[in-house]
């Protein structure tokens, strides 16, 4: 766990029964050396009195967006800038929904939109609410934006049911908060990763593309984030959840991936091209589905942009890593690709039956 000494933690408390645990979390954060500013929603004040958090944190608790005294002392924008980490514990289903929608209808949601600090949320709700498709869709949106979730854990709940939905215990949340301040090998670096396949349309139904599950690129992005990097992942269509702490951008075609990469490449220190980008696309995709009545069709293919080579050729190119999937002469072909593309490093993978595609 990284040191929390002198770290400024903005603790958001929302209206769930687990709010009482947040008082212990404040005590642990203060004991670890952190400065803690508590912000409560109206619902949270019905479970725990603001005075409790004020006594434990040593700071007045903020509850209202339109609070003349609070805005005079530390306005909501200044408060958003003050935080090194925004930790929401507990985060109710309602709060997750409002956060996913980008709402700014109270002080806490406004702070979440205004801050540039990382967001860590600790969900707490009934099992049925947690597993509901609407909640899971909201969680997916938040993960796509780089919000990190801590929990929930499984166990007996206040309603008497058992299952996932319990807020992590305060000691576990202390560790999760400390993890944001660990110094890793990539601490402070900005990493851009591509993953998955691209799909080049033949008609509105069919496409050509390369085999790729996206697992490699997602694993690389997750590892880079855990090593302290600020990671953006540009992914083709995959059936994978976004890695924690990673901003994921979904694309379909090679042209879309090229656009997203080139729009961000100037702001990154390392580029890792793990995507299986289609080399060719159909020059003129059919506007309507091609019927099977035709005995044969001819498709004119044109080259797609070579994203990896284009990045490597930039005047101020980041450290560039490519991947090579080969069925034979692995080292020779990978070495030739590294030279041809002009990249700094190539990761070579042997592919074949049961190896290299859709496997862990």
Catalytic residue annotation: 159
What is the longest distance spanned by two Cα atoms in the chain? 80
Query: Residue 28: beta bridge partners?
Result: none
Q: 206-221 burial, b if ≥16 CB within 10 A, otherwise e?
A: ebbbbebbbbbbbbbb
User: For residues 59 and 53, what is the distance between their CA atoms, to the nearest angstrom?
Assistant: 8
Could you tell me if 244 and 222 are in contact, meaning their C-beta atoms sit under 8 angstroms apart? Answer: yes
Could you tell me if 232 and 129 are in contact, meaning their C-beta atoms sit under 8 angstroms apart? Answer: no
Task: Return the axis-axis angle of helices 93-101 and 107-114, rounded to nearest 10°.
Answer: 50
User: For residues 299 and 306, what is the distance between their CA atoms, to the nearest angstrom?
Assistant: 21
Could you tell me if 63 and 45 are in contact, meaning their C-beta atoms sit under 8 angstroms apart? Answer: yes
Give phi and psi for 283, each to the nearest 5.
-60, -45
Could you tell me if 308 and 322 are in contact, meaning their C-beta atoms sit under 8 angstroms apart? Answer: yes
Angle at 307 between CA 320 and CA 226, to 5 degrees: 45
Which two structure tokens, joined as six digits, stand for 161? 């049911």
């Amino acid at each position: 766990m990284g040191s929390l000494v002198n770290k400024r933690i903005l603790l958001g408390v929302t209206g769930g029964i687990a709010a009482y645990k947040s008082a212990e979390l404040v005590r642990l954060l203060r004991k670890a050396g952190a400065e803690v500013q508590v912000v409560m929603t109206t619902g949270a004040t019905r479970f725990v009195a603001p005075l409790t958090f004020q006594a434990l944190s040593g700071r007045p608790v903020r509850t209202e967006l339109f609070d003349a005294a609070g805005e005079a002392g530390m306005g909501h924008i200044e408060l958003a800038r003050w935080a090194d980490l925004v930790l929401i514990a507990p985060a109710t289903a309602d709060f997750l929904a409002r956060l996913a929608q980008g709402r700014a209808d109270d002080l806490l949601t406004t702070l979440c939109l205004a801050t540039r600090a990382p967001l860590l949320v600790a969900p707490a709700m009934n099992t049925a609410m947690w597993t509901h498709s609407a909640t899971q869709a909201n969680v997916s949106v938040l993960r796509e934006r780089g919000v990190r979730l801590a929990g929930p854990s499984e166990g007996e709940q206040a309603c008497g049911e058992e299952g996932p939905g319990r807020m992590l215990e305060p000691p576990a949340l202390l560790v999760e908060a400390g993890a944001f301040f660990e110094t890793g090998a990539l601490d402070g670096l900005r990493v851009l990763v591509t993953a998955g396949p691209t799909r080049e349309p033949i008609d509105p139904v069919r496409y050509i593309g390369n085999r790729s599950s996206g697992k490699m690129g997602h694993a690389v992005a997750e590892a880079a984030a855990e090593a302290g990097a600020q990671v953006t992942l540009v992914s083709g269509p995959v059936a994978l959840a976004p890695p924690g702490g990673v901003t994921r951008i979904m694309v379909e075609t090679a042209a879309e991936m090229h656009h997203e990469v080139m729009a961000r490449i100037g702001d990154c220190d390392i580029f890792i091209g793990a995507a299986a980008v289609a080399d060719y696309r159909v020059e003129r995709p059919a506007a309507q589905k091609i019927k099977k009545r035709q005995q044969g069709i001819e498709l004119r293919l044109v080259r797609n942009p070579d994203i990896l080579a284009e990045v490597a050729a930039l005047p101020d190119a980041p450290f560039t890593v490519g991947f090579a999937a080969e069925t034979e002469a692995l080292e020779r072909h990978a070495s030739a690709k590294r030279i041809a593309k002009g990249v700094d490093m190539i990761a070579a993978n042997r592919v074949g039956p049961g190896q290299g595609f859709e496997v862990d």
